[in-house]
Amino acid sequence: MTKTRRLFGTDGIRGKANTYPMTAGTALRLGQAAGLLFTRGAYRHKVVIGKDTRLSGYLIEPALTAGFISAGMDVTLLGPLPTPAIAMLTRSLRADLGVMISASHNAYEDNGIKLFGPDGNKLSDEREIEIEALMDSDFADQMAGSAELGRASRLDDAGGRYVEAAKASFPRGLRLDGLKIVIDCANGAAYRVAPSVLWELGATVISVGVQPDGFNINRGCGSTAPAFLCAQVLEHGADIGIALDGDADRLILADEHGEVVDGDQILALVARSWLASGQLRGGGIVATVMSNLGLERYLEEYGLALFRTQVGDRYVAERMREKGCNLGGEQSGHVIMSDFATTGDGLLAALQVLAVMVESGRAASEVCGVFPRLPQRLKNVRFAGKSPLLDAGVKHAIAAAEARLVGTGRVLIRPSGTEPLIRVMAEGENEALVAEVVDGLCAIIAATERGKAA
C-alpha cells in the first residue's frame, strides 16, 4: 500500500499558529527528525532557516533551531527573506538542509514550514513521508551527545547576497532608468530586498506593503489582493506594478492602466522572449492543470508544448527537471526559471518582464497582453470532515458538467492542498455556460455539506 503524508500538504506543513500541527512541539520534533535524516558523514552539518514577518515566526524558529541543534546540526539563521532566497542560500552556503517558515499567501494567523534539500529543491513526497515516519518513532537514543550538539549563528548579510543574485538575473547592460515602478511586498518577507533590487537597477520605486508588524502580512495587499496594486499604479502614474505574496515566491503584475496580469500571461511573455533569444529549453514550458487553455493554444502557435502537472510549484519543478525545461509556473504567479532559481521567485520573474519592456521600449500593456484568455471561473466551497467529492450525487453532477463542456472547454474539481476547500473551476468558449456550470456544481457541493450537518 502506498504511504500518504499526514503532516505535509501541497507546500510543506501549514496550519493555524500554536494549534496542531503548527505548534512548537511539532516544530521541535520536525527539526530533530529532519536533522537525523540529513546528517550523514563525519563533517559538521548545517541547516539554514529563514522566515517571513508573521508574529508566530518567533514561536516556530526557536523550536526548529532547538530540534536541529539536538540532532547535532549547526543552524544559520537568515531572518526575514523570500522563500527563493532560502533555496538559493541553502546551495550557496553548502547547507545540508534549508527551512522556510511561512504560510505564503495566507493571513497572519497561519504559518508553515517548507523544507529544501542541499540542491535547493523542495523535498519530494517520498522524503517527506520518511520524515513523518521518523517523527512518529522513538529516536531519543539517536540524538547528539552533549559534546556533539550543534551551534546557532546569524548571517547578517543574507539579504545582500540575495539582492546581488537577483540583479545578476537581469540582462547585463540593461537598466531600469526612467521607469516608475510600484512594488507591493505584502508586508512580507521581501519588504527590504525587493525595493532595493529595483532601486539599484535604476528605477524610481514606490514601495508599499513594506511596514510589517507581525499581523498585517497579506492583509489587503500583495498578490492575493491585486486591486490595491492597481489603485497604487493609477494614483502614482506608474509604468508598471509588481505585487508579491507573503514569502515572495509568486507574482502578479498591473500594467500602466491598472489592469491585472496573471501568471499565465507572464509565462507566455517569458517563453516568447526566451524562444526568440534561443534561451528556452525543453520544447515548451510546464504549468499546472489550472492554467488557461488560451495559454496552451498560444504556445501551440509557436510549436511549443504545455506540459501540465498537479497544483503545487514543487510538482512544476519536478516536471521541469523530467522534461528538460527551464521555464514553468502557475497561474497564481509562481514562475520558476531554473537558469536562475530552483523555486518560484516573484522578483526574478518581474525582472524578466521589465527586461522585455526596456529592450522593446514598449509599455507594460503592450508586452503583457500576450494571448486572449478563455473565460475561466473558479469558486471555493468550504467543507468539514469527509470530502464531498466522495458523494455519489456530486460525482454524477461533475460528470454531467464535463459532458456539457466537452470539445469547447473543461471542468477541474480538486481539494485544496492547504485548506479544507473544494476548488471548482471551469473554462470554455461560452462564458455564460462556464459560469452556469461552476455555480451549479458549487450549489450541489454546498447542499451535500448541509446534508452532512443536518
DSSP codes, 344-374: --HHHHHHHHHHHHHHHT--HHHHH--SPPP
CB 51 within 8 A of CB 112: no
CB 292 within 8 A of CB 373: yes
Q: Kindly calculate the radius of gyration of the chain based on its CA atoms and give it in whole angstroms.
A: 22
- pLDDT given at position 312: 86
Q: Any idea which fold 13-159 has?
A: Alpha-D-Glucose-1,6-Bisphosphate; Chain A, domain 3 (3.40.120)
- pLDDT given at position 384: 87
| Three-state secondary-structure class, residue 68 | helix
Residue from 380, 372, 360 nearest 425 by CA: 380
193-235 pLDDT, tens digit per residue, is 999 999 999 999 999 999 999 999 999 999 999 999 999 999 9
- Written as nine digits, the cell of 16 is 493555524
Q: Which residues of 101-124 are buried (b: 16+ CB within 10 A; e: fewer)?
A: bbbbbbebbbbbbbbbbbebbbbe
Task: Given the residues 56, 70, 102, 104, select the one marked as catalytic.
Answer: 104
Among left, alpha and beta (phi > 0; psi -120 to 50; other), residue 356 is alpha
Contacts of 189 (CB under 8 A, 6+ apart): 50, 51, 52, 53, 80, 81, 82, 83, 85, 102, 246, 247, 248
The rounded distance, in Å, linking the Cα atoms of 152 and 90 is 15
Residue from 232, 431, 224 nearest 332 by CA: 224
* DSSP assigned state of 94: T
| Domains in the chain: boundaries | 13-159, 177-258, 262-345, 376-453
The rounded distance, in Å, linking the Cα atoms of 262 and 369 is 10
| Three-state secondary-structure class, residue 421 | strand
Contacts of 423 (CB under 8 A, 6+ apart): 378, 379, 380, 412, 413, 414, 415, 416
H, E, C per residue of 143-202: CCCCCCCCCEEECCCHHHHHHHHHHHCCCCCCCCCCCEEEEECCCCCCCCHHHHHHHHCC
CB 184 within 8 A of CB 165: no
- pLDDT given at position 407: 84
Contacts of 243 (CB under 8 A, 6+ apart): 184, 186, 221, 222, 223, 225, 226, 228, 229, 251, 252, 253, 254
The rounded distance, in Å, linking the Cα atoms of 294 and 299 is 9
CATH number attached to the domain at 376-453: 3.30.310.50
CB 302 within 8 A of CB 327: no
Find the angle CA(162)-CA(167)-CA(171) to the nearest 5 degrees: 150
- pLDDT given at position 4: 64
CATH number attached to the domain at 262-345: 3.40.120.10
Look up the CATH architecture of domain 177-258.
Answer: 3-Layer(aba) Sandwich (3.40)
- pLDDT given at position 282: 97
Strand order across the 421-428 sheet: 376-382, 421-428, 409-415
Contacts of 187 (CB under 8 A, 6+ apart): 53, 209, 210, 211, 212, 213, 216, 217, 218, 219, 221, 222, 246
- pLDDT given at position 2: 45
Q: Which residues of 277-289 are buried (b: 16+ CB within 10 A; e: fewer)?
A: eeebbbebbbbbe
- pLDDT given at position 423: 93
Active site residue 291: no
- pLDDT given at position 3: 59
Same CATH fold, 376-453 and 262-345? Answer: no
Given a cut of 70, the residues of the chain with pLDDT beneath it are: 1-4, 452-454
Cell 470539445 sits at which residue?
Answer: 407
The rounded distance, in Å, linking the Cα atoms of 193 and 45 is 28
- pLDDT given at position 11: 81
Asked whether the CA dihedral 342, 348, 353, 358 is positive or negative, the reply is negative
